[in-house]
């Protein structure tokens, strides 16, 4: 090691806060041995006692409250925070979360591991910027929105709240999740998200780009999935995009792996042959910390040491990653505790009164009034007796990334407390059947008790013991016991299917294992071990209480009914499990209809992590309300909204589709071609993106543009006046969209560019101003490989939602028309198509580049390149690869203007990454501009092509 200078005070330079950060980091880095630096690449970085360096662990979960560390304030789920459309609120929520995380860091022992492994991390693995493309995604609750502009704005606000406002020190360090295009759980470690360049640049990257460019994120986490055939943990986009955006801010991003993902590169993905090779590739691609093998650092570090010994990485690769970690640790105040402005935060902030008030406010601001024909707000004078009915009538649930709620106020409890001063009365009915299951073999009751059954959809139900309220649970020895008071485990063992097996007879099947309950005839022991229905026990089902009949009776004797339905966040739609559809659980739908039949004055409250198809409710009920799972203050906040003491301040952050609307395939990430989100989905939704009603009315007038035309580098100021024309104060989310007219590309139907949330008193009007740079009209020009603002006509739209346009003004962009695509004498990437049929995007090499291949080698696949200038072209060259081993020829056909101009035979190269150049002369020289199509026949890959001219 080289000699290291000491500061004038006799301390090492890294201990001198007067020195620049980079100098301090470099000083400490150079003092570390190679073994010490290697050890820092694991999630659990050990202490370096000789230098007084503490242990360090990456990652605490802080999505909507401090998670997994104990009792903490629980705020609405991320999708609920997104529904608030309130950046200041989101920033304040994140600030509260970060102060509580600071308190845990300094004042509570680590939740896992031993104290010498490091305190609870101040690196917060939040926010999640993955877009809510598909509402069936199991982790829908973790994202903010289906729109990249909205997601980026909310995500930036959350990062600012986590980071604090000190110029040198961080309160906590936000890490953006999950890079990139992660929106499915089923087989998530082996599925590939196909992103054509327009979707990549305009949609998926667009959620991350502004947040990183704003300098408010300190890091990112790579996603489990593959993108275009290449695992995200070795994606060139980490360096080419993420870190490129960060460089102007002067900060480095510290990029971490997701749990076990580095090992996945070899094990389920089989992308590399051995772990040393895969870990080396991840490190060189930009992964700085390996979250792998839990606290087993030696395994991971051993793989990296082997990679170093084999020459797959060098010390410079190790140093680059460690330098980023050290920079973050300095900014978190680890080496300057006396200067850290956040070091004095004490444990009293956890679940403090201020955070409780904020949590209640956040629920109200994120609650969306979907429909209201006048039933809401409820008037205690007219409806003194209210029946609160449903499986979530007075029950709150935590999700996987929730903290532990310090207390719970459900809807019935909240309404009861709010009505008490008015002399009102609440009748609470869960509406579930109570049954007994009696063995046909022994005659014994299962568990020696009866059970309350709740339908959570897809045939999955929970059974709670009537005497204790505990859930029936599959035990480790395959036995059954009702011994769980809550469901919160990675593997949910508390869901069962009651499968009909004759008159009043059912089979009991555990969802987790798929096996059936069986009874040993010798000792009567019940085990869940039967593999088939034939081996399963037959249970006599005895109905002890008819849940729907009880609910009907309660509703009929009340003045109004509030039916609270929704999902359990750990059942049917959660991490590792997507939903199959968007249907409301059958039992819940039946309960709702029964209540509405008995009491037409029924409001549906949906408390869910994701949208449901609620077509019947919208058509037949006077009021429908949605809120995410909102945490401990849900009941107080919803009561205030239902009674009109608070405004339903939320607007939908994603489209709610109709039940009969056939959604695209879950793995079709091409939002343009598939028709995902409000931007491209053409069928009328049940409730559109941005939708939400108020208890007052708002009028829009005087939409003005500062100029009627703008050049590509200019900007236009937009003003509009919004007035509260109703009888009470209210909040409105004013949404600004743009629309391209007669575009040369498939443009979005509408695209959000800005929004403002305003609160107005009755009769109050306010002029709102927006700045609209022309660059917000840009699309990704596949021919140029860059964003471009096309000249022509556009519309500026002020709207209440994506389907409710209030005012529209035309805007013209001036400039020369785009030239035709140049293809002669120029290499054209195959992936830069304008349209496609039957194509899958794959990796050109393990390190970089994209290629295309037929989705089904038995069917032709076509690429379309519009307005290609083919003047002078006499021959074509194509870069192809073909593994071989399959029968049949492979051929590339080229058509211009509808006629075949060349046919190119594709040879076997022996490997999917073994590329060769194939050539063919054109049937005749070409001139002019034509739509060019390439058709792939057979099992080969195409990465690029070019046309040559004569001479």
Annotated active-site positions, please?
Answer: 258
d(CA 203, CA 780): 10
* Residue pair 914/848 in contact by the 8 Å Cβ criterion: no
> Could you tell me which of 718, 660, 726 has the C-alpha nearest to residue 693?
726
* Token reading at 178: 């999950």
Helix, strand, or coil here: 249?
helix
With contact defined as beta carbons under 8 Å apart, do 131 and 207 qualify? yes
Residue 121 structure tokens: 């991390």
Beta carbons within 10 angstroms of residue 391's beta carbon:
27
Burial class (CB in 10 A: 0-12, 13-18, 19+), 818: middle
**Residues 6 or more apart from 430 whose CB is under 8 A from it?**
389, 390, 391, 393, 452, 454, 547
Cα 872 from Cα 924, distance rounded (Å): 10
Q: Quick check: helix, strand or coil at residue 885?
A: coil
Measured distance CA(379)–CA(382) in Å, rounded = 5
DSSP at 202: I
Q: Which structure tokens are listed for 240? A: 């080419």
| Three-state secondary structure of 550-608 | HHHHHHHCCCEEEEEEECCCCCCCECCECCCCCECCHHHHHHHHHHHHHCCCEEEEEEC
Q: Give dist(CA 445, CA 447) in Å, integer.
A: 6
Strand residue runs (E) in 66-109: none
Which among 770, 680, 763 is positioned nearest to 719, based on CA atoms?
Answer: 770
What separation in angstroms does the CA of 931 have from each of 822, 826, 833, 919, 926?
Answer: 12, 17, 11, 21, 12
Q: How many CB atoms lie within 10 A of CB 348?
A: 9
Nearest to 850 by CA among 950, 715, 943, 712: 943
DSSP characters over 772-826: EEGGGG-EEETTTTEEE---EEEEEEEEEETTEEEEEEEEEE-SPPPPPEE-BTS
CB atoms within 10 A of CB 407: 10
Q: What are the Cα distances from residue 233, in Å, to 45, 221, 256, 558?
A: 20, 9, 9, 57
**Residue 87 to residue 198: CA distance in whole angstroms:** 28
Phi and psi at residue 657, to the nearest 5°: -80, 160
> Based on C-alpha coordinates, what's the Rg of the chain?
30
Nearest to residue 926, comparing CAs of 823, 833, 831?
823
């Amino acid at each position: 090691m080289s000699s290291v200078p000491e500061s004038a005070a006799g301390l090492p330079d890294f201990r001198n806060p007067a020195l620049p950060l980079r100098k301090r980091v470099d000083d400490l880095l150079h003092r570390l041995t190679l073994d010490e630096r290697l050890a820092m690449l694991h999630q659990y970085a050990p202490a370096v006692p000789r230098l007084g360096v503490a242990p360090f662990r990456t990652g605490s979960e802080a999505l909507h409250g401090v998670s997994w560390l104990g009792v903490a304030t629980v705020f609405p789920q991320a999708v609920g925070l997104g529904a608030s459309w309130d950046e200041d609120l989101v920033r304040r929520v994140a600030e509260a979360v970060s102060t509580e995380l600071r308190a845990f860091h300094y004042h509570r022992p680590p939740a896992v591991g031993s104290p010498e492994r490091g305190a609870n991390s101040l690196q917060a693995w939040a926010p999640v910027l993955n877009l809510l493309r598909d509402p069936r995604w199991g982790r829908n609750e973790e994202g903010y929105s289906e729109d990249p502009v909205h997601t980026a704005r909310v995500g930036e606000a959350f990062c600012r709240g986590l980071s604090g406002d000190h110029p040198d020190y961080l309160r906590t360090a936000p890490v953006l999740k999950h890079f990139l295009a992660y929106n499915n759980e089923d087989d998530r470690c082996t599925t590939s998200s196909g992103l054509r360049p327009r979707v990549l640049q305009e949609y998926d990257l667009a959620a991350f780009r502004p947040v990183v460019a704003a300098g408010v994120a300190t890091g990112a986490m790579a996603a489990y999935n593959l993108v275009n055939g290449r695992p995200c943990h070795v994606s060139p986009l980490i360096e080419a995009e993420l870190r490129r955006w960060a460089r102007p801010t002067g900060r480095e991003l510290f990029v971490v792996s997701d749990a076990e993902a580095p090992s996945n590169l070899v094990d389920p993905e089989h992308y590399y042959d051995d772990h040393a090779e895969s870990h080396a590739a991840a490190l060189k691609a930009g992964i700085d910390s390996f979250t792998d093998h839990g606290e087993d650092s030696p395994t991971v570090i051993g793989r990296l040491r082997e990679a170093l010994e084999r020459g797959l990485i060098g010390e410079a690769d190790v140093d680059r990653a460690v330098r980023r970690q050290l920079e973050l640790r300095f900014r978190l105040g680890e080496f300057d505790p006396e200067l850290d402005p956040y070091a004095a935060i004490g444990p009293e902030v956890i679940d403090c009164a201020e955070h409780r008030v904020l949590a209640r406010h956040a629920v109200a601001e994120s609650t969306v009034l979907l429909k209201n024909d006048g039933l809401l707000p409820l008037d205690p004078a007219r409806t003194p007796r209210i029946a609160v009915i449903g499986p979530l009538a007075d029950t709150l649930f935590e999700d996987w990334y929730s903290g532990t709620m310090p207390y719970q106020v459900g809807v019935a409890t909240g309404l009861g407390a709010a009505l008490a001063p008015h002399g009102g009365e609440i009748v609470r009915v869960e509406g579930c059947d109570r049954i007994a299951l009696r063995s046909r073999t022994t005659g014994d009751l299962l568990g020696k008790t009866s059970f309350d059954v709740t339908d959570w959809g897809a045939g999955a139900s929970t059974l709670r013991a009537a005497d204790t309220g505990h859930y029936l649970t599959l035990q480790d020895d395959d036995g059954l016991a009702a011994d769980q008071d809550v469901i919160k485990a990675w593997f949910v063992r508390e869901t069962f299917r009651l499968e009909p097996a004759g008159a009043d007879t059912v089979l009991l099947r555990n969802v987790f294992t798929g096996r059936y309950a069986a009874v040993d005839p010798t000792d009567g022991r019940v085990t869940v071990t039967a593999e088939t229905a034939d081996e399963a026990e037959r249970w006599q089902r005895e109905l002890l209480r008819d849940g729907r009949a009880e609910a009907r009776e309660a509703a009929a004797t009340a003045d109004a009914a509030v039916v609270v339905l929704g999902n359990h966040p750990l059942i049917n739609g959660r991490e590792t499990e997507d939903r199959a559809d968007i249907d409301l659980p059958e039992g819940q739908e039946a309960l709702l209809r029964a209540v509405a039949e008995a009491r037409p004055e029924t409001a549906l409250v949906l408390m869910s992590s994701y949208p449901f198809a609620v077509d019947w409710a919208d058509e037949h009920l006077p009021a429908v309300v949605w809120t995410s799972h909102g945490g401990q203050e849900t009941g107080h906040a919803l009561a205030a909204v239902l009674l009109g003491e608070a405004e339903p301040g939320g607007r939908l952050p994603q489209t709610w589709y109709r039940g009969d609307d056939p959604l695209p395939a879950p793995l079709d990430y091409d939002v343009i071609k598939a028709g995902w989100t409000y931007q491209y989905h053409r069928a009328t939704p049940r409730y559109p993106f941005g939708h939400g009603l108020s208890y007052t009315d708002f009028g829009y007038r005087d939409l003005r543009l500062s100029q009627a035309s703008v050049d590509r580098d200019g900007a236009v100021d937009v003003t509009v006046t919004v007035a509260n024309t109703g009888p009470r104060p209210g909040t409105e989310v004013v949404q600004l969209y743009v629309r391209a007219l007669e575009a040369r590309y498939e443009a979005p139907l509408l695209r959000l560019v800005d929004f403002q949330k305003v609160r107005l008193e009755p009769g109050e009007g306010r002029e709102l101003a927006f700045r609209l740079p022309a660059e917000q009209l840009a699309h990704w020009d596949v021919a140029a490989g860059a964003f471009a603002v096309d000249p022509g006509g556009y519309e500026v739209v002020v709207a209440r939602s994506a389907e409710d346009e209030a005012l529209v003004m035309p805007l013209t962009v001036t400039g020369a028309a785009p030239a035709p695509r140049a293809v002669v004498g120029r290499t054209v990437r195959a992936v830069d198509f304008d349209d496609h049929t039957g194509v899958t995007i794959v990796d050109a090499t393990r390190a970089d580049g994209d290629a295309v291949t037929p989705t089904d080698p038995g069917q032709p696949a076509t690429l379309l390149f519009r307005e290609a200038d083919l003047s002078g072209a006499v021959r074509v060259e194509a870069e192809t690869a073909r593994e071989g081993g399959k029968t049949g020829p492979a051929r590339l056909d080229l058509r211009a203007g509808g006629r075949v101009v060349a046919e190119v035979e594709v040879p076997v190269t022996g490997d999917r990454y073994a590329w060769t150049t194939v050539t063919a002369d054109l049937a005749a020289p070409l001139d002019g501009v034509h739509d060019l199509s390439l058709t792939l026949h057979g099992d080969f890959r195409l990465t690029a092509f070019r046309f040559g001219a004569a001479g």
